[in-house]
Every structure is written in structure tokens, then in C-alpha cells.
Amino acid sequence: MLKEPPFLSSLLRVFSIVLACAALVATTTAQASYAYYVGRNLTEDGSVMVGGTGEEVSSHWLEIVPAKDHRVGETITVGVTEDAVIPGELIEIPQVAHTFRYMQMAYTDFEGFPPPLTNGGVNEHQVAVRDVWAPSRQELIDMTPRPQRGLQYSDLARIVMERARTAREGVEIIGDLIAQHGFATYGGNTHLIADPNEGWVVWEFAGGQGLWVAERLGPDDVRVLYPGGIGEIPIDLADNPDYLASDNFISFAIEQGWHDPASGEPFNVQHVYGEQSIRDYRDPGIKLMSPAAMETATRAMAPVSEADLMERVRDPRVVDDDSGYGQVVSLRSDLPDPDMIRVWNAPTGSVTAPFNVWWLGVEDVPMEYAQHRYLTKDSAATFLHPDYQVQEATRFAGRTFKRVMYYACSDPARLLPPVIEMLTAFERETRGDLVWVERTAQAMIVQGDRDAARKLMTHYAGTRARAALDLGDTMADSLDAYVRLVVGRRGPQGTRINTLDPTVNCVANGDPDDPG
């Protein structure tokens, strides 16, 4: 197998490609995100499994958003502002009468996209959503109206969680919203939407033409998106159960001269509508491990367990300082109650942070895992609101495990293996408790005491999360002592503390074939 270039030169190449592909300015280069889908025939327990990371220069925090009834005439604000890469105007659209309970990781920073933002999560109907960048061809970016109006990627992810009962319904909701109100973008986007039976990849394009297409993922499929994309599709999409698209999806490409049906060439969505420098979205030459290689590695684990997918999501060849958090969720057709929906979340890049277990029935999140000022937009230019002073005074899991990352990745060949070993052991210990916790909570629900079940899950999840934070403090202190006494601390050699290029990476010796 051919070696990639040494890490530093490779990373410089990565960022230049990302800049070109996404057609973004320097303030938005690294925001991208991953998504993993594993069909139910390939998993250990027959569930559909979804995983991913968020890649934003921002603080991240866990939220459980309750179901809510809304008054007649209520609206929500969506879109982007004049500060976005493609300037826009915010608009108001109608809210529905009832929105569902869901869990998400929120963040604040994407230029011109009003916070709080989300890449997705999972709702009470086991509809999981992941958001992934997917750049459109330059001509579409150029024809995007200025100012643009419509829903942006975070709006769509949030609304799918609020309203969808199935993955397919989530696709239809996105299509209807774009048709009615438009799509506001930084250059193009995909959403991976899944339920206990199937998944869908939805690609929304720049251009202001309402263009979108969706491809169904079945029980034997594995899909990894970075960037998001769709390849060859049939020309005749009508009544095809595996595809959905805007009415103009094929005809617009023909009108623009981007596809000629008479040529006999298949309609390849990436080739027709995608960034033209990327010919194969499954092997774009951007990260140290391609989506195709990640798919192969994931499929080789079949039957895939939650622990297996956690291993894939935290692979140091794809997870680094860009990664704001990690997430893994199993979507089960035999789930006895929505409160039992189980999500594993790492509070920052999971290469050096533990996956903590949460259930949708959890009533609140410990302050240590809620929003803090560390890496939160505008925190450097403002003071703390008094209402947040106690929460801000607590430890912050995101900051703690960033410390672990910076120590461990300063010498990954020597320091990363024991860190990962401790994290996986902690997660294994948590999994050992799941049977009794979930069995007890379910028995309480069956007996009509949902309140007690939620209190049990809240207590256990919060206790484990705080234990994980204690572990993080111990690891950071131990790594500090090791670096100080054995390796020797090395201070900065330059004067620039902030950068988008290069970023901290945990690949041992800069070798992509040696992940640890």
C-alpha cells in the first residue's frame, strides 16, 4: 500500500483542497463533519447504526429538547445573514402545531449562520440525522441569489428531528421546505437520515434552483460521507422507491448542458452537480483515510457492535482537533419505549474523549456537559451573563478532553495508546451496566412510573458522565507529569496561537498507515 506524504505536507494539501472544493473563505475552511451508516443486516443486534462527528471551530454541548405544542400562527426564524460567505437574509416560516422530543449536540460558530446550530441527533421516533458538507459545482454557487433566502443545513436538521416519524418522511420534509421557502447555503450540503429500517442520503445544492436528490440506503449497505455525495442514479426517478428528487433535478442539468441523454453516459450526480475537482466523493483525496477505505474497514467488522462503530468514529486518521464531538446511535425496531433510545456522545474529538451513554428519557444534562464560554462565539469580546455564572464555574468536559488531546497528540506513538485503552475500558465498564439499568427503567415504565424511570436514567447517565470527567482530569494530570518529567515540555516556537492550517492531529509519526 502506498504511503501518503508526511503528515504536515499532507495536511497542507488537505486544506487547499477543502478550500477549493467548498468554495469557502478562510473563516470557514475546516467545517465539514462525518457521517456513518450501517444497515441492520450488518449489525450485532439487528439495529440500523448511525455515527459521526461535527467539525466546527466552536464549543459543543449536549442538549435534550422536550416535545412542545405551539400556538396557531407561530413562526420560526431560518436562513443566513449578510455575514455568510454567500450573503443572505433571515426569513420567518410557519411552525407546526407539535414538535417532537430530540437529543442533539449544539454549537455556535459558523460565519453568518445564527447560533445555536446543530449537525443533527435523534428524535423520539428514532429518526436520526447527520449533516455533512457536499460542495456544488462553481456555476451553481455563482448563480445563487444575493441575498439568498431559505433554510440552511442546521435549520433542516433541526426541523427533521422536530417533525419526522420516518427517514423517508424526513427527506420529504426537506424537499417540501426547499420548494416552499428555498435553501440557503455556503456551497452545498448533505443530510444522512436514518430510522430502524433504512437510511437516506439527501444532497441539497447551491444555485437557488431548489435542486435536491436523495438515495435510499438498505439493510446491507455501509456508507461513510466525507464529503457527502451521490453517484450514478437512473434518469427516470418517478415511482423509483430508492430515489427521490426535486421535479427539476434532471431537466435543469440538461438545460445547462451538464448532461446529454443522447450521449449514453449515466447520470452521475457528483459529476453533473458536484464540485468538479472531486470526481469520486468516496475517494476525494482529502483526509488520510478515504470514505471508501472507512466503509471497507467498517464492513470488515460485521456484525458491527456499538463498540465497533465507536472505534471507527474515533479513528485518529479521521478524527483530530477539527472534530468537535463524536456520536453513535442504534436505531432498533424492537425498542420498547422512546425514552429508551440510547445515544453515545463524546464531548469533543473522540480520539481522546470517552463516549458517554445518554437516553432520550434523561431529564437534564450535567452543567459540566452544557454550554460554556470555551470556544463559544463572541466570548472573547463579551463578559459572562450573570445567569450563567454557576454553570461557567463548573468544569467543562469539552475543555478537559481537549487538554488530554493536546498532551496525548504531542507524542501519539507513545502517549495515545494508553489513553485510548483507558477510554475503551471506561466505555466497556458502562456497557456492563446497561442491562440492569435499562431492564429496571423499562420495568418502571411498564408499571406506570415513567417519572421514576427517567430519574434512574438521569442519575446513571449523569453519574457516569461525571466519572468520565474525573477520568479526564486524571489523564490530563498524568500526561502533564509524563511530558514534564520524561519527554520534556516544548514551548511554542512561533507567535501565532490561532490557525486553520495546520491543526493538531494524533496520527503516530505522521504515518496514515499507523493510526496509533
- For residue range 158-197, what is the model confidence (pLDDT) as tens digits? 999 999 999 999 999 999 999 999 999 999 999 999 999 9
What is the structure's pLDDT at 28?
39
Of the candidates 359, 261, 290, which has an alpha carbon nearest to the alpha carbon of residue 62?
359
Report the amino acid identity of residue 149: R
What is the structure's pLDDT at 110?
84
What is the structure's pLDDT at 490?
87
Higher pLDDT, 501 or 63: 63
Task: Answer whether residue 227 shows pLDDT above 50.
Answer: yes
Do 196 and 203 touch, CB atoms closer than 8 A? Answer: no
What is the structure's pLDDT at 515?
52
Q: Where are the domains of the chain?
A: 7-487
Burial string for 146-164 (b: 16+ CB within 10 Å, else e) reads: ebbbbbbbbbbbbbbbbbb
Give mean pLDDT, residues 460-471: 98
What is the structure's pLDDT at 63?
97
What is the structure's pLDDT at 283?
94
Band (30; pLDDT cuts 50, 70, 90)? very low
Task: Answer whether residue 253 shows pLDDT above 70.
Answer: yes
Band (513; pLDDT cuts 50, 70, 90)? low
Fold of 7-487: Penicillin V Acylase; Chain A (3.60.60)
Band (502; pLDDT cuts 50, 70, 90)? confident
- For residue range 131-153, what is the model confidence (pLDDT) as tens digits? 999 999 999 999 999 999 999 99
Q: What is the mean pLDDT of the chain?
A: 92
Q: At what angle do helices 412-446 and 397-408 cross, to 10 degrees?
A: 150
Higher pLDDT, 296 or 5: 296
Distance CA 424, CA 10 (A): 29
Task: Answer whether residue 393 shows pLDDT above 90.
Answer: yes
Give mean pLDDT, residues 2-24: 40
